[in-house]
Amino acid sequence: MPKATSPPSRSAALALEFTEGRQTAAVAAPDGPAAVTAAAGGGRGPVAPVVTAAGGGGRGVAQAFAACFLPEGFPHSVSSDYLPYQLWDSIQGLSSYLRGMLSSQAMLAGVGFFLKDFTGMLGGILFASTQGSGLDCYAKQWRLLADVMNDIGLALELASPLLPGAFLLLACLGSLARAVTGVAGSATRMALTQHFALQRNAADIAAKEGSQETAVTLVGMVLGMAFIRAAHGLEPLIWSAFWALTALHVWANVRAMRCLRIASLNQARLGLLLRHYLRTGEALTPGQMAAEESLVPPPLQLLLRRLGLGFGGVPLVAVAPRLATLRPAMQQQLAARMQAAAEEEDKRRRRGGAAQYVAAAAPGGGGAGAGPDAVALLRQGAGMGDVLEAYCASLMLAWGAQLSGRGPSKLWPAPAQLALADVERWLAAAAAAAAAGRGRGAAPGPGGGSYEGFLASLAAAGWALDRVALLQGPSRLAWGADLRTD
């Protein structure tokens, strides 16, 4: 069994990774102990920086519990009254469920009721723990999936009497689908309510939405009772009506999602906006984006991407992931970038600002592999503006790697290809243009442009640059001056 490499001390480390306030990994400098261990196999020349994981596996159970039941960033991401409220709310919910169980008249029905509800509740907990803030970032996509899962749950429940031997299985699967509907539906409903509320009237909008749903339910009850009486005993007619209504339900939901002109930026929208700007020098409006963006949730997009069934237009970027989750080749590339960033630290501070992130792309720009196409690591203290810039830089590095691996493409005009070939210059082009007297945010021509020009175009097109919903991992790094003790 190979001997584990111990993390270097703070003084010997090139960079340290912190996750939720504790050190989880370190990047050793070439002359540090970890690099010497890595070079013991007889390698020649300078030793590349090495990523080593820190200990602390005993907290795995606590971390899993927090991921399932507490919001990301707890307790700093919620108000001080969140925990006591949730404790008492859980007690009243438990008592309510137990009273429901006690009121059951038949033991068999009670066991079936328990298994059905248990499956749904467990599925809802696991779903919420795996998605978290992604429900806010991709409210349209998850809202649509919630309604599709509701259709699946209804279909399973309708089919369960036709298969008596599989009744309980179908009922449990239906409960699982409805649980996903409940979690995704309620979470995205809040996000969309906030989107609609322009005058801090979210409560009024939510109340009116409840009234609308009640009115629609009453109409549906009347029409449903009339149809059931007319179609009594006609199973083919009932199934035909069910599938016709299901098709209408999905189509209406797609149309509703396409109507939403959400002006906040998530990964998918930012990728499409940046690609369009690099090619044309212009920004899409939120209305144009509503017709362009995919309505498939990110996990399904990732699955289809790995199967080679599409979604290859915008690279997959991981922002602030744990270093230990990355492939070794990506670890080494990021470590080399951090080494270069640390060496440039003094120069950057004399120029008025230190780098708040490092970014790197997979060789060839990635593709359908298991890992991300590009990665951005954030420094401790990085703000949302730094996150936005880091994501754009990562996208461009991935596109540039794709171009270098596949050769020039007609999809990218010459100015855009020049920008992708020198991302740092593109990011700093606005400052150079201002120094030359061309004005802040000036674009050199159709396509290409500059980062400041890109932001100015987004603001002019109606995008809310103060509402950036980019998915981020929990890790932050310290390097350069952050590690100095003098």
Instruction: List the domain boundaries for the chain.
Output: 121-259, 267-483
| Closest of 304, 305, 283, 317 to residue 398, by C-alpha | 317
Question: In 4-106, which residue ranges form alpha helices assigned H by DSSP?
Answer: 33-38, 60-69, 82-102
Q: What is the pLDDT of residues 140-184, one digit of tens each?
A: 888 888 888 888 887 877 777 777 777 778 878 888 888 888 888
Q: Global pTM?
A: 0.76
What tens digit of pLDDT does each residue of 409-450 get? 677 888 888 888 888 888 886 544 444 444 444 444 445 678
pLDDT at 52 > cutoff 70: no
Averaged pLDDT of the chain: 73
Nearest to 374 by CA among 415, 316, 326: 316
- Give the pLDDT confidence of 206-220 residue by residue, as tens digits: 777 777 878 888 888
Distance between CA atoms of residues 235 and 220, nearest Å: 20
Tokens 């103060």, located at residue: 466
Strand (E) positions, 340-454? 357-361, 374-378
Q: Which of 479, 161, 150 is nearest to 342 (CA)?
A: 479
Q: Which residue has the higher pLDDT, 228 or 379?
A: 379
Find tokens 């009850």 and name the residue: 221
As a whole number of angstroms, the distance between CA 340 and CA 324 comes to 21
CA atoms within 13 A on the CB side of 472: 24
What is residue 463's predicted lDDT score, i.e. its pLDDT?
Answer: 92
Which stretch of 89-98, 349-358, 474-483 has the lowest confidence by average pLDDT?
Answer: 89-98
What does the pLDDT read at residue 33?
38
Q: Are 386 and 377 in contact (CB under 8 A)?
A: no
Q: How far apart are CA 233 and CA 277, in angstroms?
A: 59
Q: Rounded distance, CA 299 to CA 180, Å?
A: 14
Q: How many residues does the chain have?
A: 486
Averaged pLDDT for residues 257-270:
87
